[in-house]
Amino acid sequence: MTAYVIYQGVIHDAERYAEYVSQVGPNITGAGGRFVVVGGDGEALEGELPTERTIILEFPSRQAALDWYSGEDYTRIRKIRQSAARGNLYVLDGVD
């Protein structure tokens, strides 16, 4: 079953976050994932947008997403993001 990794956060160090961005794309695709949404300019239809940045990644399965997240390469890259932004990151199963 397809799984989605969702990140919603606020960037507090744009230069450091740019370093993260330069490394994370190939890391995600190399793990079988793909970007579905890379957004910072949303429009609330009801309520308010939760954060300044929302990213949605698609992986072929929850296990693939978990393997990517806990993998050695992403663990190193993740530390860059964590030092440059704060937010929530979670995985949800899709509907197949």
pLDDT of residue 40: 66
Radius of gyration of the chain (CA): 13
Q: What is the reported pTM? A: 0.92
Terminus-to-terminus CA distance in the chain, angstroms? 6
CB atoms under 10 Å from CB of 57, counted, come to 24
Q: Please report, in tens digits, the pLDDT of each residue of the chain (96 residues total).
A: 999 999 999 999 999 999 999 999 999 999 999 999 998 678 889 998 887 889 999 999 999 999 999 999 999 999 999 999 999 999 999 997
pLDDT of residue 90: 97
